[in-house]
Amino acid sequence: LRPGGIKLEDFFTEVKQKYPDMLFMADCSCFEDARKAQELGFDAAGTTMRGYTKETRGISIPDYEMLHRMTHELNIEIIAEGGVWETRQLQKVFNEPILSAVIGTAITRPREITKRFVQAILEGRQAEEQRKMHEAY
Protein backbone atom coordinates (compact mmCIF):
# COMPACT_ATOMS: atom_id res chain seq x y z
CA LEU A 1 0.00 0.00 0.00
CA ARG A 2 1.04 3.55 -0.74
CA PRO A 3 0.38 6.45 1.64
CA GLY A 4 -3.35 6.95 1.96
CA GLY A 5 -4.01 3.23 1.52
CA ILE A 6 -3.66 3.35 -2.28
CA LYS A 7 -2.61 0.06 -3.88
CA LEU A 8 0.55 0.14 -6.00
CA GLU A 9 -1.40 -1.21 -8.97
CA ASP A 10 -3.88 1.68 -8.86
CA PHE A 11 -1.22 4.30 -8.20
CA PHE A 12 1.03 3.08 -11.01
CA THR A 13 -1.85 2.82 -13.52
CA GLU A 14 -2.79 6.43 -12.80
CA VAL A 15 0.80 7.70 -13.03
CA LYS A 16 1.48 5.75 -16.23
CA GLN A 17 -1.65 7.26 -17.83
CA LYS A 18 -0.70 10.76 -16.70
CA TYR A 19 2.88 10.44 -17.99
CA PRO A 20 2.71 8.00 -20.94
CA ASP A 21 6.15 8.94 -22.32
CA MET A 22 7.95 8.60 -18.99
CA LEU A 23 10.10 5.55 -18.24
CA PHE A 24 9.56 3.88 -14.88
CA MET A 25 11.93 1.71 -12.84
CA ALA A 26 10.87 -0.43 -9.89
CA ASP A 27 13.21 -0.70 -6.89
CA CYS A 28 13.09 -4.42 -6.07
CA SER A 29 14.24 -6.51 -3.12
CA CYS A 30 13.51 -9.93 -4.59
CA PHE A 31 12.67 -11.77 -7.80
CA GLU A 32 8.95 -11.61 -7.02
CA ASP A 33 9.10 -7.79 -6.85
CA ALA A 34 10.67 -7.70 -10.31
CA ARG A 35 8.10 -10.14 -11.69
CA LYS A 36 5.32 -7.94 -10.28
CA ALA A 37 6.95 -4.85 -11.80
CA GLN A 38 6.95 -6.54 -15.18
CA GLU A 39 3.28 -7.49 -14.79
CA LEU A 40 2.38 -3.90 -13.89
CA GLY A 41 4.19 -2.51 -16.93
CA PHE A 42 7.33 -0.99 -15.43
CA ASP A 43 10.07 -0.37 -18.00
CA ALA A 44 12.90 -1.60 -15.79
CA ALA A 45 13.54 -3.32 -12.48
CA GLY A 46 16.53 -2.61 -10.27
CA THR A 47 18.03 -4.74 -7.52
CA THR A 48 18.04 -1.56 -5.41
CA MET A 49 16.35 -2.89 -2.28
CA ARG A 50 18.10 -6.29 -2.11
CA GLY A 51 19.60 -6.62 1.36
CA TYR A 52 17.78 -3.56 2.71
CA THR A 53 14.34 -4.94 3.59
CA LYS A 54 13.31 -6.97 6.61
CA GLU A 55 13.00 -10.07 4.41
CA THR A 56 16.35 -9.64 2.63
CA ARG A 57 18.53 -8.14 5.37
CA GLY A 58 21.79 -10.05 5.66
CA ILE A 59 21.79 -11.30 2.06
CA SER A 60 25.12 -10.62 0.41
CA ILE A 61 24.97 -8.06 -2.38
CA PRO A 62 25.33 -7.86 -5.25
CA ASP A 63 23.21 -11.00 -5.43
CA TYR A 64 24.51 -12.52 -8.66
CA GLU A 65 22.10 -15.45 -8.49
CA MET A 66 19.03 -13.20 -8.32
CA LEU A 67 20.44 -10.97 -11.05
CA HIS A 68 20.94 -14.01 -13.29
CA ARG A 69 17.40 -15.21 -12.64
CA MET A 70 15.92 -11.77 -13.33
CA THR A 71 17.78 -11.38 -16.62
CA HIS A 72 16.94 -14.87 -17.86
CA GLU A 73 13.36 -15.34 -16.64
CA LEU A 74 11.87 -11.88 -17.09
CA ASN A 75 11.26 -9.75 -20.17
CA ILE A 76 12.06 -6.37 -18.63
CA GLU A 77 15.21 -4.25 -18.52
CA ILE A 78 17.30 -5.02 -15.42
CA ILE A 79 19.54 -2.57 -13.59
CA ALA A 80 22.11 -3.93 -11.12
CA GLU A 81 22.13 -1.64 -8.10
CA GLY A 82 23.60 -2.20 -4.68
CA GLY A 83 26.81 -3.61 -3.30
CA VAL A 84 29.11 -2.96 -6.25
CA TRP A 85 32.34 -1.85 -4.55
CA GLU A 86 35.04 -3.42 -6.71
CA THR A 87 35.75 -3.44 -10.44
CA ARG A 88 35.59 -7.24 -10.51
CA GLN A 89 32.04 -7.06 -9.09
CA LEU A 90 31.11 -4.62 -11.85
CA GLN A 91 32.57 -6.97 -14.45
CA LYS A 92 30.60 -9.86 -12.98
CA VAL A 93 27.24 -8.04 -13.04
CA PHE A 94 27.89 -7.12 -16.67
CA ASN A 95 28.31 -10.81 -17.48
CA GLU A 96 24.50 -10.76 -17.38
CA PRO A 97 22.45 -8.97 -20.06
CA ILE A 98 21.67 -5.96 -17.84
CA LEU A 99 20.78 -2.48 -19.05
CA SER A 100 23.15 -0.77 -16.63
CA ALA A 101 24.72 -0.82 -13.18
CA VAL A 102 24.59 1.81 -10.47
CA ILE A 103 27.76 2.59 -8.56
CA GLY A 104 26.71 4.57 -5.51
CA THR A 105 28.37 4.43 -2.11
CA ALA A 106 31.63 3.16 -3.60
CA ILE A 107 32.22 6.57 -5.20
CA THR A 108 29.93 9.02 -3.40
CA ARG A 109 30.68 8.60 0.30
CA PRO A 110 34.19 9.77 1.23
CA ARG A 111 33.89 8.45 4.78
CA GLU A 112 33.11 4.91 3.55
CA ILE A 113 35.84 5.09 0.91
CA THR A 114 38.40 6.20 3.52
CA LYS A 115 37.24 3.49 5.93
CA ARG A 116 37.89 0.83 3.27
CA PHE A 117 41.42 2.14 2.64
CA VAL A 118 42.23 2.29 6.37
CA GLN A 119 40.91 -1.26 6.79
CA ALA A 120 43.16 -2.41 3.93
CA ILE A 121 46.17 -0.79 5.62
CA LEU A 122 45.39 -2.45 8.96
CA GLU A 123 44.90 -5.84 7.33
CA GLY A 124 48.15 -5.42 5.42
CA ARG A 125 50.07 -4.53 8.58
CA GLN A 126 48.57 -7.47 10.45
CA ALA A 127 49.54 -9.85 7.65
CA GLU A 128 53.09 -8.44 7.63
CA GLU A 129 53.41 -8.85 11.42
CA GLN A 130 52.25 -12.46 11.18
CA ARG A 131 54.74 -13.13 8.38
CA LYS A 132 57.59 -11.69 10.49
CA MET A 133 56.56 -13.81 13.50
CA HIS A 134 56.65 -16.98 11.39
CA GLU A 135 60.08 -16.07 10.02
CA ALA A 136 61.40 -15.53 13.55
CA TYR A 137 60.62 -19.14 14.52
**6-49 residue pLDDT tens:** 999 999 999 999 999 999 999 999 999 999 999 999 999 999 99
> Counting Cβ atoms within 10 Å, is residue 36 exposed (0-12), middle (13-18) or buried (19+)?
middle
**111-116: long-range contacts (C-beta < 8 A, 24 or more apart)?**
116/85
**64-114 residue pLDDT tens:** 999 999 999 999 999 999 999 989 999 999 999 999 999 988 888 889 889
Sheet strand arrangement including 25-27: 25-27, 44-46, 77-81, 100-102
Whole-prediction pTM: 0.80
Q: Which residues contact 67 (CB under 8 A, 6 or more apart)?
A: 47, 78, 80, 93, 96, 98
